[in-house]
Amino acid sequence: MKKVRTPIDVRYQETDQMGVVYHANYLIWFEIGRTKFIEELGLSYIEMEKQNVVSPVLDANIKFNKPVRYGEAVYVDTWLEEYDGLRSAYGYEVIREDGEIAVSGITRHVIVNKETFRPLSLRKKFPEWHKVYSEVVRGD
């Protein structure tokens, strides 16, 4: 399975009153990891958006195992968990410096027309994405 590791420096503004990363910020980190993962595959969200297509989150699941605090350096490991030609699911793990998994999660996405929000087939609209995603899911 192809995984991409993205470093994250925990910033003060990302923490709550307890000095722990505020839970919603992990979704931002997931997005950073997902974007880096896609770039590492040679693909580009920017090119997709130039064609008036966006990829909204349908579902997000997050499991919090250990706190992450201001000043820590962590990594987000990202991979393609599932792909069926229409929907894509990305997996994530936020790894602390000590190697412990602090947070894990999955987000599920489709692509849609930016104006109408009508779903599109990734397989048909972006055949190069489909080819790469199919290979990644199979482990080629």
Handedness of CA 57, 10, 46, 115 (dihedral sign): positive
Specify burial of residue 78 (Cβ count, 10 A radius: 0-12, 13-18, 19+): buried
**What is the four-CA torsion angle of 60, 25, 21, 96, rounded to 10 degrees?**
70
CA–CA distance, 4 with 40 (Å, rounded to integer): 8
The pair of three-digit structure tokens given for residue 111, joined into one six-digit string: 């692509």
* Cross-strand pairs, 95: 75, 101
> Catalytic annotation on 16?
yes
Which of 9, 16, 59, 84 is the catalytic position? 16
Strand-strand pairing, 57-64 and 101-109: antiparallel
Active site residues: 16
